[in-house]
Structure formats: C-alpha cells, structure tokens
Amino acid sequence: MQRDQDRHKLFTRRVAMLAGGKFILLSGLAARMYYLQVIESEKYRTLAEENRINIKLLPPPRGRIVDRSGVPLAVNRQNYQVVLVSEQAGDPEETLDRLGQIIEIGESDRRRVLREIRRKRSFVPVTVRENLKWEEVARIEVNAPDLPGVSIEEGQTRFYPFGESTAHILGYVAAVSQEELTGDPLLELPGFRIGKSGIEKIHDLALRGAGGNSQVEVNAYGRVIRELSRNEGQPGQELALTIDMELQRMVVDRLADEGASAVVMDVHTGEVLAMASTPGYEPNAFNKGLDAKQWRTLVSNPKAPLINKSIAGQYAPGSTFKMVVALAALEKGVISPSTTFYCPGSLKLGNARFHCWKRGGHGRVDLDMGIYQSCDVYFYEVAKRTGIEAITAMAHRLGLGHKLDLDLPGERTGLMPTREWKLATIGIPWQKGETLIAGIGQGYVLTTPLQLAVMTARLANGKYAVTPHLTRDLVSAKKTEKRGAPEFETMGISSNHLRLVRDAMIATVNYKRGTAYRARIEEEGLEMAGKTGTAQVRRISKAERDRGVIKNEDLPWEQRDHALFVGYAPMHKPRFAAAVVVEHGGGGSKVAAPIVRDILLKVQKLERDKGLTNISASETPAVEEG
C-alpha cells in the first residue's frame, strides 16, 4: 500500500515537471513567434520582398557625338549579348560546353569568361558574346531550359559611321579593365564600355550618363513574373564638335594611304575644322574586340596607324620655321627688311660647311626673297646674329615647343632648344653651328602638325595668340553648355613685322619665283599664302655631295625627306589656316603644297556655301597693317 502511494507521488511529480516543461517550451515558442511576427515583422517583410523583387541596374544610353552641323559621328546601335551568371549556372564550364554547341564560342572568349568569373562576384553577369545575330538569339532562347544561368540581354553598342576618317579624333570605347574599376556599379555591368582614347576618353563622364534601374517580381525559382517599375536613368549628353565632316572626309581622302597628317583651323576662333592622321584604324573593331592577328597588324605597320600624328607626331619643321627666325631677328633689331646677305650656295663656320638647298646659291638675298626663295644661307646668317634664345622665345609666342591643351589626350610638346636645355639633357655645351641648323628648322627643333597650324593662324590673324579646340558644346536634357566668344591674349609682336612675313608668304605662292608657285590657287578672291618646308631625316656626307645628292625617289622610303607646307587663305583677309606633313614624302613644294592648296580651296567653298564659323564673312577682321 505504501509502495503504491510512493509510486503515485512520483508519477504526479513527473507529470507536473513534464507539464511545466511543456509550458515553458510553449511559452518560449509563443515569445519567439511574437518576437518574429510583431517585433521583427518589418525586417522579415523586407527580406521577403527582396526575395520576391529583384532590382536590376540599367546602363544609360551613351551620348551621341556630332559634327558642327549635327552630322552623327558616334551613335548607338542595338546589341544582343549572351551573359552567364556563375551562381545560377552550377558548373560554368559545363554550361559553356552546352552553349558552345548552339553558338560559336572562341577559345579566347572561353578563357576570358572563366577568368572574369573567378575575378567577379558570383552574382555579377559575365558577357560571353556580343553582337549576336537574330538566329543565334532564337537558338539560345529555345534551349534556355538546358542552359542554367544563361540569358540574353538587349543593350546598345557604340558605332562610328565614318570609321577610319574620325578614328584619331573620336577614339573608341572598350570594355572596362580591372584597373579602371572605381566602385561605380555601372562599370561592373556586362558589356559596359568606357572611352579609351580621343574625345570618347576626354568627355567620358559626360557621355556616360547615369544608370537607371528596373524592379521585377520573381517566383521561388527566380523566373521573372512581371516588371513592377522602371527608371531609365539619365542618358549621356550629346557632344557637338567643331569638325566639319565634309571637310574631314576630303582631307583624309586627299592624304590617301600616306603616313601623313593635316590640321585645318579658323584663325580667329581657334576651332579645328579638320584633323587627319593617316593611315587610320577601324574604331568599331576595338569596340567588338581585336584578335591577336589584327593587333599585330596594327602595331607592326611602319606608318603607325594607331598614333594621332597631328598631335603626337614630332617633326623638324624645316623651312616652315623661317618665319619664326625672321620675326625674332626683326624684333631683336639685328636685321631690317632691306638687310641682304650673299648666298654662294654654302656658308663656312670654323671647320664646318653649311649648305643651301640650291647648290649654285641665290646670290644677294633680302628678307622677302629669303622667305619666298627659302634661302638657307640667308637664314644661317640671320640665326647666327639672332641667337638660339631669342629664336626659341619667339617660337613659344607663336605656339611652338609646348602643349596647346587641345581637348584630346596624347598631345606632345615638340621641342624648342636652349643652351640650358642641351647642357641639362645631353651634358654638352651648345655649339654655334647648332644655332645655324636651328635657323632652318632642323637639328633639335621639333614641332607637331597642330603647332604648325597654330603658328600659321597666329601669323595670319595679325595679333592674337589663338589656341585650338575641338569641343563646341555639350547638350543634355536640362541645358546646353556652349563655348562663349573666344578671348585670346595678344602676342606682343609688331604688326609691321608680321606684315613683312605675310607679304613674303604671299610671294612664296603667288610670285613666279616663289617655291610654291605651281601650287597656287588661281580663283580670284580665294588665293592662299604659305611656306614650303623639307626636313631631312638623314645626314648627307661630303662624298655624296661631291658625287651628287641622291634623289628622294631613289632612296628607301624611311630615308626620304619629310614634306611640309603651312598656309592660310584668303591671302588678304585670312580666315583659315592649314598645315600638312607627309612623312618621307620628299619636297614640300611638290608634295605637301598641293594638298594644302586643295584643302584651303575646299574649306573656302564650304564656308561660302554653308558657313563654317561663328563669324560671318562680313564680320571677319582683316589683318592689322603697320
């Protein structure tokens, strides 16, 4: 009996303990449910929404680039691309194998995709191929159930309608490299392109715009049910250039496949109307991606198609530099317009003899004849009396030997030497003979075609240190940013001295004894003024001179002289300046002068037919006279 009572008490305690435990558990569960459903309800509602709603970043349309008349130079085209998300694909290599049976995937593309998958976060899409044909898109969509993580995205790709003709001005866009990632999520989007060179690079942020987003509802399997909202973001701004495309194409065609460059500009505003460097390259190929063979072809070409020679090509200016020397000498007072020197065909200095291009010499030569006949001996004498420091100082005032801050990357400075420069750079004192060589634009003197065009524009406008620019205005949905009227500093050069030099340049082209007479413009009112230049790239030995100097056409291409010409038009009321350099082209009068003639004739006719500048013909100021 006692044992039964003890057993009953034990059972009662156990029941009580069990009931108490259950109560505690139920209380804890109730408290946890209250905590999750009431206190943390907002948090879990948000998480649930995030699982149900996906937010997708949308790339903005890149801004167009147009010429001064609104002709499109860089536009966007529809682009279908196939992308792969590694976290959804499971085994990316197996998925690529399956995809490769449906569309062609090159081995280099495969390696790139796998490399990007390892480098990027697993949820970031990686572009497998772009610019798909519609048939390829259809095949991928039909096989979508067997291609986990693979999807088709519709975007835009950059297209340059004029290809090589504008390549060195516009540059190109290409995929973002690892070094260019800044934390901007736009840069991590598959297929997103940024400016890599030219105007595309300089104005990349303005052209790029701001990204938008799309909110889509998805089911438990990640399949899109519907789009809830969409914000397109802010498109890139439209950019208008100073270039006239009709003139640009003519200049490129005129240079043909030579290794050459040309710059045409307004002498009053500094607007660059055309800038060509040949041979060029196909910028659309960079957007799609070059293969190894295409790249090797470009970099191995001796005519350097990837270099914008107009701003990065550095050449001895040859006789086109003689106006600089003349102005420096006139300003220093070591010569007057009537000062003459006798040219017997050479000048001796110490043990060295410096030759004129005309073997028999020019006889008695004054300033005017020294320029229009391009007498080297005359300018040897002038340079010797002027000195390298004064010559270099004048060159700087005319835009030579330093960057002009054109709105393009890659501009080089050229070189205007001084005694201090040579001693610091080479460690050898300056020699008198080097001043003589500099006096005819050779030796250490180096210029770019852009600098030569600016020099010519400054000589032509008669007063102002005009500087070049390519950007006219930026246009967005909200506002238009236009350049104001240009304000340039005065050069501080005597207007009378400038008139003397311009008169000699007019004679160079329009006087029968001028070196460029055969390249003159004969249409009344459109005549040009200019100066020829021929820059040697090899030294001519005494033995060769005794035997007879080898003609350019008989030399290997890389040993031939560079041909140069600078000019402006109309000759009495300057409006446009042009400079042309033809690498290893031979004589400036024979090769470069006819090109500038054709360019200046074309630009004047274009201005007459449709107007090219902000200054009407009636408002164009004549050059100052002394």
55-241, what's its fold? Penicillin-binding protein 2a (Domain 2) (3.90.1310)
What are the Cα distances from residue 370, in Å, to 210, 234, 332, 522, 568? Answer: 59, 60, 18, 24, 19
- 319 noted as active-site residue: yes
Q: Hey, what are 191's tokens?
A: 């297929």
Tell me the domain boundaries of the chain.
55-241, 245-285+306-619
Distance CA 236, CA 208 (A): 5
Burial of residue 427 (number of CB atoms within 10 Å: 0-12, 13-18, 19+): exposed
Q: Is the pLDDT of residue 26 over 60?
A: yes
What are 80-119's pLDDT values in tens digits? 888 888 888 878 888 888 888 888 888 888 888 888 888 8
Lowest-pLDDT range of 31-35, 252-256, 600-604: 31-35
Q: In the prediction, which pLDDT does 478 show?
A: 53
CA angle 238, 243, 248 (to 5 degrees): 130
Q: In the prediction, which pLDDT does 609 show?
A: 85
Q: In the prediction, which pLDDT does 1 show?
A: 59
What are 461-495's pLDDT values in tens digits? 988 999 999 998 876 555 555 665 567 999 999 99
Catalytic residue (one of 261, 319, 374, 589) = 319
Whole-model pTM: value is 0.82
Whether 159 and 284 have beta carbons less than 8 Å apart is answered as: yes
245-285+306-619, what's its fold? Beta-lactamase (3.40.710)
What are 319-340's pLDDT values in tens digits? 999 999 999 999 999 999 999 9
311 alpha-carbon distance from chain centroid: 9
Distance CA 550, CA 541 (A): 11
Dihedrals φ, ψ of 396, to 5°? -60, -40
